[in-house]
Chains A and B, each alone.
Chain A
Amino acid sequence: MRWQGVPVPSSDTADTHAITIGSVRSSVLPLPARADAMRIDKIDRPDFFRTPADDVVTLDGIEVTAGTTVHAQSLPGGVAAVGAIAVTAPPAVDETARNEVPTWAGDVLDAWGIDRDPAAAGWPQVVRIVAEIQRRIVRDDAASTPDDCPDTLRHMLTVSHRGRPYDFAGAAAMLLRECGYPTRVVGGLYVSGERRDVRSRRLVAAADDAHVWAEIRDAAGRWIPLEPTPGYRLRPPTVPWTTWALDGLHRLAAWMRARAATIAVIGAGLTLLAAAAGFGWRWCVDALATAWWRQAMRRGDVCPARAAWHLIAWRAWLAGCPRRPTETVRDWHRRTLASAAADEPLSFVTAFEQSAYGRHATPRDRLRHGQVAAAAARHVTVARLRQRFTTESHRWQPS
């Protein structure tokens, strides 16, 4: 705060205030929000004042005498503009802020879905916490806590969800500290501008105008006021859109990390849909079946000839020439591929029959079956089957 010993002229870039002390018995001087200059009548010695905390000015232990007028200057906009401070530095993060925070505060944040990851720290997280308090807790000036309840804030946040105005500031400070933000609870007067007497041009503050809010320190050392209590017109800090965008990206990444499997499935499905749109559904099903077959061939416990038959049976179905239930594999082959020039399919049928109806295959048999099956899988494609099986007379329709 800038102290001046002479009256401050009013201008367009600042609001001037003349605050007359009534019955308040305190050494703290009443100052408007966002005050940046003040003086008291003829006291022009700076060492007469003390600043025990940022933005707090006292008369060094002397009670302010009734009738004293404090002249002050603040940034324009009044109370409504107080919270709309354009933050230029990120909120400070200090691990020591968590020292006196109860352990259940983290559980409350988790239950509210607030990401406590240090990487998520920033103004968007601060604004979200304050907004959650306002959304979830109902202001109730008559709210009370049971006599046997040792923790008022816990009762408010987890049980009753109703609280008095000053409880909101305490809750906000506690939850913000849990996230590592240096936060303080500030008491003062909140006087609505509607009570301003136009004739006398005075605004009289009463005892009911006492109010408590929270302030958070940014990395530049400024205390940024936050208003968690519903009903008080204090806008949240103005956070640049770039900060919001970065926060959105971070939250998206966290969301995707938490749902990696779902996203993978959806991605595969979308890829398949795209492939189906581009190449046709037959191509997609064939690609899936082929992938399954390749996976099966890598495993040692799967009969290669049988696995290849399953693949070829899929392809036959896709090509419109499936094996009839009462048809043998050899008959199906004779019906569909008998005149094929290559020998692979017939060798494959023999290999399949041996594995299906013959003795247990020896390692040499398995090796040969694997080679024959691989050749058949290359040879008997959907396109080739469709090409060879186009006339309607060859098609089989289930009865």
Chain B
Amino acid sequence: MATVMIKSDRINLDESFGLIGRLRLRLRETLRGKTEACDLALACLLARGHLLIEDPPGLGKTTLAKGLAALVGGRFARIQCTPDLLPTDITGFTLYNQQTRSFEFRAGPVFADVLLADEINRATPRTQSALLEAMAERQVTIDDDCHLLARGFFVVATQNPLEHLGTYPLPEAQLDRFAMRLSIGAPDRATELELLQEARGRDRGDDAPDAVIDQPALERLQETTAGLLVNDAVAGYLVDVGRTCRELRDGTGGPSPRGLLIWQRVAQAWAVIQGRDHVTPDDVRHVAGPVLGVRLELSPAESDRLVAAALDRVPVPLGGRRG
């Protein structure tokens, strides 16, 4: 019986590896020259996390979000966050229909499969908080009615790290809802030249990729990812690094237990993307920077240094009991 179960797992994994391989390929074609960012964004999606991208305008944040939404066959919605954006502009509202003489619910953009919250730090804290329940619980409550969001609801939020005038920094509780913080960065010269050559004589907006999978398939991939093997030794390593981060922050910050859970899930997703049926310390280390960076309340450079210091303090286990 056990043998059959393992075999069944492996068939599912093999299918998953094939689907993820195609997703990676198409996403890399969508966002040229940024394979690492593409893979991390995909890992975030597979881990059922939400993604925060910190980059100046024009580096491909929207392209990445739209590409992800198109590849997984989901509905895409975008919110341009401004100080006058209201919570109901995101979640939706109840409207009285005079013809039917009843109240109707008008769903907001949060009911999409992939939501791009552009320049989220320009929205007021009240509006930002409206996203809290949606991101954490995948549901919104309007007029005492609870509305479930899509099972694969995925938020890609962006913020400009350079411009702080008229912005509202995301509170710690809000940041903890994101799985990782990512910086795409400018592409290299060759990629930029290639982009210019391809853009000649072509309309903007006609480069949206076709869907590779549908939402049920994405859910199956996410379930497969959640079930990936994490060795006890590897899990212990992850916890030790997290605790070391807290020690280095003098106990005033660092990843929460929820952050560790998300970190493990992202490491599982990264392992699946690498075509492995188990998580290794390399996976944990690879995603540590983006996952912990959003939780350390430090600048990207400072958080990278702190994470590197933590990783350099904890010995890597060489095997152990299977978890």
- Residues of A whose CB lies within 8 Å of any CB of B are 306, 309, 325-331, 353-360
Q: Which of A306, A326, A328, A358 contacts B282 (CB 8 A)?
A: A328
- Name the prevailing secondary structure of the A interface residues: helix
Q: Which of B229, B231, B278, B312 contacts A326 (CB 8 A)?
A: B312
Check if B279 is an interface residue, CB within 8 A of chain A: yes
Residue pair B277, A328 in contact (C-beta under 8 Å):
no
**Complex Cα distance A321/B276, Å?**
28
**Complex Cα distance A353/B281, Å?**
9
Residue pair A359, B322 in contact (C-beta under 8 Å):
yes
Check if B132 is an interface residue, CB within 8 A of chain A: no
1/0 per residue B291-321: CB within 8 Å of A? 0000000000000000000011111101110
**Complex Cα distance A309/B316, Å?**
15
Q: Which of A330, A331, A357 contacts B279 (CB 8 A)?
A: A357
Smallest distance from the beta carbon of A351 to chain B beta carbons, Å?
12
**Complex Cα distance A356/B279, Å?**
10
Smallest distance from the beta carbon of B11 to chain A beta carbons, Å?
14
Q: Which of A325, A353, A358 contacts B315 (CB 8 A)?
A: A325
Q: Which residues of B contact A354 (CB under 8 A)?
A: 276, 278
What are 22 A-B contacts defined by CB distance under 8 Å?
A325-B316, A326-B311, A326-B313, A328-B281, A328-B282, A328-B285, A328-B316, A331-B282, A331-B285, A353-B278, A353-B280, A354-B278, A356-B280, A357-B229, A357-B231, A357-B278, A357-B319, A358-B229, A358-B231, A358-B276, A359-B6, A359-B278
Smallest distance from the beta carbon of A248 to chain B beta carbons, Å?
55
Q: Which residues of B contact A360 (CB under 8 A)?
A: 322
Most interface-central of A306, A328, A331 (chain B CB within 10 A): A328
Residue pair B316, A356 in contact (C-beta under 8 Å):
no
Q: Which residues of A contact B313 (CB under 8 A)?
A: 326
**Complex Cα distance A225/B276, Å?**
91
A326-B280 CB under 8 A given contacts A357-B233, A357-B234, A359-B229? no
**Complex Cα distance A306/B311, Å?**
24
Leading 7 A-B pairs by shortest Cβ distance: A356-B319, A358-B278, A325-B315, A357-B231, A353-B280, A330-B282, A328-B281
**Complex Cα distance A353/B316, Å?**
12
Q: Which residues of B contact A327 (CB under 8 A)?
A: 316
Q: Which residues of A contact B282 (CB under 8 A)?
A: 328, 330-331, 353
Q: Which residues of B contact A358 (CB under 8 A)?
A: 229, 231, 276-278
Most interface-central of B233, B276, B319, B320 (chain A CB within 10 A): B319
Smallest distance from the beta carbon of A372 to chain B beta carbons, Å?
16
Q: Which of B186-235 contact A (CB under 8 A)?
A: 229, 231, 233-234
**Complex Cα distance A157/B278, Å?**
77
A355-B312 CB under 8 A given contacts A328-B280, A330-B280? no
Q: Which residues of A contact B229 (CB under 8 A)?
A: 357-359
Smallest distance from the beta carbon of B169 to chain A beta carbons, Å?
33
Smallest distance from the beta carbon of B48 to chain A beta carbons, Å?
23
**Complex Cα distance A115/B280, Å?**
65
Of chain B, the residue at the smallest CB distance from A358 is B278
Smallest distance from the beta carbon of A360 to chain B beta carbons, Å?
7
**Complex Cα distance A272/B17, Å?**
51
- Residues of B whose CB lies within 8 Å of any CB of A are 6, 229, 231, 233-234, 276-282, 285, 311-316, 318-320, 322
Smallest distance from the beta carbon of B70 to chain A beta carbons, Å?
33
Smallest distance from the beta carbon of B317 to chain A beta carbons, Å?
8
Residue pair B318, A356 in contact (C-beta under 8 Å):
yes
Residue pair B277, A359 in contact (C-beta under 8 Å):
yes
Smallest distance from the beta carbon of B207 to chain A beta carbons, Å?
35
Smallest distance from the beta carbon of B232 to chain A beta carbons, Å?
10
**Complex Cα distance A58/B282, Å?**
107
Smallest distance from the beta carbon of A366 to chain B beta carbons, Å?
15
Q: Which residues of A contact B277 (CB under 8 A)?
A: 358-359
Q: Which residues of A contact B318 (CB under 8 A)?
A: 309, 329, 356
Q: Which residues of B contact A309 (CB under 8 A)?
A: 318
Smallest distance from the beta carbon of A96 to chain B beta carbons, Å?
72
Q: Which residues of A contact B276 (CB under 8 A)?
A: 353-354, 358
Of chain B, the residue at the smallest CB distance from A330 is B282
**Complex Cα distance A309/B320, Å?**
15
A355-B315 CB under 8 A given contacts A328-B281, A328-B282, A330-B280? no
**Complex Cα distance A355/B322, Å?**
10
Smallest distance from the beta carbon of B83 to chain A beta carbons, Å?
46
Most interface-central of B229, B278, B316 (chain A CB within 10 A): B316
Residue pair B314, A357 in contact (C-beta under 8 Å):
no
Given contacts A326-B312, A326-B314, A359-B229, 11 further A-B contacts (CB under 8 A): A306-B319, A325-B316, A328-B280, A328-B281, A329-B316, A353-B280, A353-B282, A354-B276, A355-B319, A357-B278, A358-B229
Q: Which residues of A contact B322 (CB under 8 A)?
A: 359-360
Of chain B, the residue at the smallest CB distance from A399 is B312
Smallest distance from the beta carbon of A93 to chain B beta carbons, Å?
66
**Complex Cα distance A328/B276, Å?**
16
**Complex Cα distance A331/B308, Å?**
14
**Complex Cα distance A331/B285, Å?**
10
Residue pair B234, A326 in contact (C-beta under 8 Å):
no
Of chain A, the residue at the smallest CB distance from B284 is A328
Of chain A, the residue at the smallest CB distance from B312 is A326
**Complex Cα distance A360/B319, Å?**
12
Q: Which residues of A contact B278 (CB under 8 A)?
A: 353-354, 357-359
**Complex Cα distance A309/B319, Å?**
12
**Complex Cα distance A328/B288, Å?**
14
